[in-house]
Amino acid sequence: MIDRAEFEDLVRGALREDAPLGDPFGAAFRQEAQGVFLAGGAGVFCGGPVAAEVLRQVDPAVSLDFVEDGSRIRAGDRLGGARGPAGALLLGERVALNFLQRLSGIATATARYVEKVAPFGTSILDTRKTTPLHRTLEKYAVRVGGGVNHRFSLSDGILIKENGIRAAGGIPEAVAVARRCAPHLSRVEVEAETLEEAEVAVRAGADAVLLDNMPPEMVAEAVRKFGGSVFLEASGGIRLENVEAYARTGVHAVSIGALTHSAAALDISFELLR
């Protein structure tokens, strides 16, 4: 679940963006109406509470119901219903659908990756490659799809990437700085592009190593050498077509930026009933 406090301001802003001065056409229709949300394709539903908040803010008199987030859906399925003043439904439908389509698309994409790696016990992680200000919702959608959230922000943990290593003057120096700066419960992860860099990171005391843009064969070698001593995460160039090959290596997790920055929206529509 996700708490309403985490998205009500975002919804308010989205409504202000879409209808800053209201809906001059829709305002003419004050009669009671009802409509249904319908799936146009198969996937994982996500965003019901957010869509409900959209219509609640438009008019608290609107009543809604949605299937549970995480539900597997097929084309033609009824996903929810809304009843209230026709003008309110017309005003809120696009914003509600924008959230539903986006979040359901992320949950669906995540679920496809999770299904591929499930037999091997590998976790599917998201990244910080999210839409600005939408990170809470997009990472929620990843969880709904069965994925696991990586750190939420720079404040949540230390992942030393290429530029950080350059700023520090090398991997050992970067890890030493991280140990001095990080809260004692924070894990320090280092990005490595080669097995040699991974070994340097492990010897420097990293808790985790991100194996960046390594082919599955190299990841398998890293797992053999270091998998028993540090957490290993593969990332870069990983797609639905090759994620199983990475999972077969025994790597602990695979992180995929495309879950949030490139997931296709799921086709969902809203129709008023006659």
Query: Domain 114-261 belongs to what architecture?
Result: Alpha-Beta Barrel (3.20)
Structure tokens at 159: 């992942």
- Asked about 161 being catalytic, the answer comes back as yes
Q: Catalytic: which of 128, 129, 135, 248?
A: 129
Q: Catalytic: which of 53, 126, 189, 191?
A: 191
Each domain of the chain, given as residue ranges in start order, spans 4-108+264-272, 114-261
- Asked about 225 being catalytic, the answer comes back as no
What is the Cβ-side half-sphere exposure of residue 225, based on CA atoms within 13 angstroms?
A: 18
pLDDT digits (tens, 9 = 90+) for 200-221: 999 999 999 999 999 999 999 9
pLDDT digits (tens, 9 = 90+) for 30-40: 999 999 999 99
Mean of the pLDDT values across residues 31-53? 98
- Match domain 4-108+264-272 to its CATH number in 1.20.200.10, 3.40.50.720, 3.90.1170.20, 3.20.20.140: 3.90.1170.20
pLDDT digits (tens, 9 = 90+) for 70-113: 999 999 999 999 999 999 999 999 999 999 999 999 999 999 99
Eight-class DSSP state of 257:
T
Confidence of residue 15 (pLDDT cuts 50, 70, 90): very high
- Quote the mean pLDDT of the chain: 97
What is the Cβ-side half-sphere exposure of residue 214, based on CA atoms within 13 angstroms?
A: 28
Q: Catalytic: which of 161, 166, 203, 224?
A: 161
Give the separation between CA 26 and CA 18, rounded to whole angstroms: 13
- Asked about 191 being catalytic, the answer comes back as yes
pLDDT on residue 1: 83
pLDDT on residue 233: 98
Q: Catalytic: which of 8, 83, 94, 221?
A: 94
